[in-house]
Amino acid sequence: ELICALIERGAMPDDDSREPWFLCYAHSNQDIAETLSAFEDALTEVTHGHPTSISVSQRV
């Protein structure tokens, strides 16, 4: 469900849950921001707006 929601938003994650998602120097700050926004929107959609313990807004 999450994978489909991400694809609808233009993100192309690997559908194998054991495969991590990678960033590289080819990704701009805008690419990263757009991907995080797509992930947050997709996560909200698949959890039907219920809060989760995951926050993509937090920076490490």
Mean of all residue pLDDT scores within the chain: 83
CA distance 11 to 50: 22
**Helices assigned H by DSSP within 1-60:** 2-8, 29-46
How long is the chain? 60
Sequence-separated (6 or more) residues with CB below 8 Å from residue 57: 40
Q: pTM to 2 decimals? A: 0.69
Residue 19 phi, psi dihedral angles, 5° rounding: -95, 120
Task: Decide which of 7 and 18 is more confident.
Answer: 7
The mean per-residue pLDDT over the stretch 2-26 comes to 86
